[in-house]
Amino acid sequence: MSRAGASDRLDVNIKHKFYRAASGDCRHVLGQISLGLNSGEVAALVGPSGCGKTTLLRIVVGLDHDFEGSVQLPAFGKLGVVFQEPRLLPWRTVEENVRLAAPQADDVTLGALFVTLGIAEHRRHYPGELSLGLARRVALARAFAVKPDLLALDEPFVSLDTALAARMRAELVELVSRQPVTTLLVTHSIEEAIEIADRVVLLSAPPARLLGDVRIANARRNRTAAAIAAIRDEIENKINAVDQPAARC
């Protein structure tokens, strides 16, 4: 795999990914997946749970090197990652958590970010004093504060109540509209994908491969319920997975 280059595109080209369990079992997790993202494009990876979406994301951000293929990160490869769990340092305050990941961030940018995400009054709190929703917002603030070349989000709104998840999705849309950034969002919810992304990339059941790549034309902010429903129908038509035999390890 190569990571060199100064192209603004994200290029992912995976041939195979096998997962070897401690018991010695071997599973074929990812099949042939090619995915290119232009600068500033927001793509959502959607697929059934356990299909390898998180594995794909971990390969893209360089946490998993055990695969066949290549990943080319955009520009300087600076990453902003929001994990499924907030992954904050419990012994550092909210502000310290953000500043440790983004030492170059200036006060004005950080202040604006904290206000947008509604965590301004929690700056000096420790993560243990925050609700899950607030901790998730801090993780989001941390990822944006580094001014990433690639923003990677792994199910950032799971296990939040519906209203809170909707509010946070709106905040994310607001942030990527204001500060365009190449974004890869992993989610199992088609509605969430349609609301946030420019492109919805569909993955099959494992071994995952691309089932479809749906582009959404109208601007993020004025997607009506009817438009979302239409896109949703289009996507669901594509999900008629053809069975594909798993390759051997």
Q: Is 81 in the site for another protein (CB under 8 A)?
A: yes
CA torsion through residues 55, 37, 182, 46, sign:
negative
* Stretch of 88-96, 164-172, 184-192, 209-217 contacting another protein, by CB under 8 A: 88-96
Q: How far is the CB of 125 from another protein (least distance, A)?
A: 10
Using the minimum distance from each CB to another protein, give the nearer residue, 103 or 245: 103
- Residue for token digits 């071997």? 26
- Contact call for residue 63 and another protein (CB under 8 A): yes
- CA pair distance 227, 110, nearest whole angstrom: 35
Amino acid at 229: A
Please list every residue from 197 through 236 that binds another protein, using CB under 8 A: none
Complex with another protein: residue 90 or 245, whichever CB lies closer: 90
**CB 61 to another protein: min, Å:** 5
Return the residues of window 104-163 that contact another protein according to CB under 8 A: 126, 128-129, 142, 146
In the chain, the amino acid numbered 68 is: E
CA 135 centroid distance within chain? 17
* 101 in contact with another protein (CB under 8 A): yes
Contact 185, 173 (CB under 8 A): no
Length of the chain: 249
The span of 55-63, 163-171, 180-188, 231-239 binding another protein (CB under 8 A) equals 55-63
The correct pick among 40, 48, 62, 212 for binding another protein (CB under 8 A) is 62
Q: What angle do CA 233, 234, 236 make, to 5 degrees?
A: 65
Q: Indicate the residue among 15 and 87 with the shorter CB distance to another protein.
A: 87
Residue 140's nearest CA partner among 93, 192, 176, 190 is 176
Q: Which of 1, 5, 68, 89 binds another protein (CB under 8 A)?
A: 89
Site size with another protein, rule: CB under 8 A = 23
Q: Is 122 helix (H, G, I), strand (E, B) or coil?
A: helix
90 binds another protein (CB under 8 A): yes
Q: What is the chain's percent helix, strand, coil content, to nearest 5?
A: 35, 25, 40
- Show the tokens assigned to 112: 């604006």
Task: Find out whether the peptide bond into 180 is cis, omega within 30 degrees of 0.
Answer: no
185 binds another protein (CB under 8 A): no
Q: How far is the CB of 227 from another protein (least distance, A)?
A: 34
Residues that bind another protein (CB under 8 A): 61-63, 78-81, 83, 85, 87, 89-92, 96, 100-102, 126, 128-129, 142, 146
